[in-house]
């Protein structure tokens, strides 16, 4: 019960932070509308690594719905967020128990993958929206116009997700319940080649030759 209360408090705090960041977003005008430098997703994606997928997905969904109701998000934001959530979930193997250690390199890998996913998705969506607005003039001109904003957003994702996810993970990591497992450190293995990760057991000491 105490752990669930702690999780709820973290969820409420991170959701509030996500909404605040969403309200303070920067934007740049384009013929198709406003292309936002959207950083609210950084909070939700970091929570997926720092807490777990279920809580992180809930925080991301709730924050996005609130921003939609406040008029600070649109269908492009929602689709972009969904793609990023699927990417991060697949990258860490659709599960991340709290007794699994996440290293700095692994957190950076998640941030890089999320940033690339966010950039590609945002570029495509901006191109499609611009093409629809201009009645079939092509998506490439609008993708070029959106490039500065989408690229900056992607770089900020790569920069901010690793430290934030590690901070959240630090305060929510739990030691293994099994006494035998408690003598070992479990870490997450991320393979960017096929976007799948899985927990792996590693001994605390190195094997001697």
Summarised one tens digit per residue, pLDDT across range 43-94 is 999 999 988 888 889 999 999 999 999 988 888 888 989 999 999 888 887 7
pTM: 0.77
| b/e per residue 101-124 (b: at least 16 CB within 10 A) | ebeeebbbbbbbbbbebbbebbbb
Predicted confidence (pLDDT) at residue 110 exceeds the cutoff of 70: yes
What pLDDT is stored for residue 61 in this prediction? 92
pLDDT tens digits for range 134-171? 777 778 888 888 888 888 889 999 999 999 999 999 88
147 vs 150: CA distance, rounded Å: 5
């Amino acid at each position: 019960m105490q752990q669930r209360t702690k999780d709820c408090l973290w969820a409420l705090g991170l959701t509030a932070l996500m909404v605040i960041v969403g309200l303070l977003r920067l934007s740049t005008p384009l013929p198709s509308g406003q292309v936002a430098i959207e950083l609210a997703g950084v909070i939700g994606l970091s929570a997926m690594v720092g807490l777990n997928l279920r809580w992180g997905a809930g925080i991301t969904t709730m924050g996005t719905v609130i921003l939609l109701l406040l008029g600070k998000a649109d269908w492009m934001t929602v689709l972009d967020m969904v793609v990023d959530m699927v990417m991060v979930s697949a990258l860490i193997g659709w599960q991340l128990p709290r007794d699994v250690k996440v290293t700095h390199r692994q957190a950076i890998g998640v941030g890089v993958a999320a940033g690339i996913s966010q950039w590609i998705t945002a570029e495509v969506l901006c191109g499609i929206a611009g093409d629809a607005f201009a009645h079939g003039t092509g998506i490439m001109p609008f993708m070029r116009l959106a490039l500065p904003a989408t690229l900056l957003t992607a770089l900020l994702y790569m920069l901010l997700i690793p430290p934030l996810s590690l901070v959240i993970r630090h305060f929510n990591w739990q030691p293994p319940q099994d006494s035998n497992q408690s003598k070992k450190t479990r870490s997450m293995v991320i393979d960017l080649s096929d976007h799948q990760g899985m927990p792996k057991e590693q001994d605390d000491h190195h094997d001697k030759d």
